[in-house]
Amino acid sequence: MGSSHGYVSSKLDLASLAGQTVRFRFRIGTDVFGDSWGWFIDDVRIYTCDTSDPSTVSLTYPSGSEVWKPGENETITWTGPSRMAYATLRYSLDKGATWKTIEKNLTGTGTEKRTEYVWKVPLQPNNKKGLLKVTGYDSKGASLGSSTMPFSIEVVRIIYPMEVKP
């Protein structure tokens, strides 16, 4: 049994070197026999990973075609930039002419940002088309933008059973 001479890949996190000038050196050592191949270096890459920090606030649920029933719980979800300190949720049942606040100052705990909220769909006498809006704010209260999505409330009517004749 000998060595496999197979290819091996390694990744290292160099974040601790950020902002510094560095030089990488590679040194090979051999055993006492001196005839071992040792190792070869090929394809060295230094790169940064995309953190995918959103540039603005965006609702992820509802996405625009949801039909909800009055009194049911629906989980509203959104994303926002890392500098977002808190968010406010509102809804409108008159095409955005007026807005009712669902919840203000939604923040996370510790380092976790709150990006979801369970909302009890309001009771309605008739079917309604509505709009849901999330607005994000930074720690100084400046708006980071908002996102609005439509949804529908479908009222289910139960009609007293009619007399059925055999």
8 Å CB contact between 84 and 138:
yes
First to last CA, the chain: 88
The amino acid at 141: G
Of 75, 38, 83, the residue nearest 59 (C-alpha): 75
The amino acid at 80: G
**What are 16-68's pLDDT values in tens digits?**
888 888 888 877 766 666 666 666 777 777 777 766 778 889 999 998 889 99
Number of residues that this document lists for the chain: 166
Distance CA 39, CA 36 (A): 9
**Choice between 113 and 106, residue whose per-residue pLDDT is larger:** 106
pTM: predicted TM-score of the whole model, two decimal places:
0.62
Confidence of residue 162 (pLDDT cuts 50, 70, 90): low
pLDDT of residue 110: 44
- DSSP letter, residue 10: -
Least confident of 42-51, 78-87, 135-144: 42-51
**Surface-to-core class of residue 60, CB atoms within 10 Å of its CB (0-12 exposed, 13-18 middle, 19+ buried):** middle
Q: Which two tokens stand for residue 138?
A: 């930074």
Q: Which two tokens stand for residue 142?
A: 């400046």
Q: Domains in the chain, ordered, with CATH? A: 58-153 (2.60.40.10)
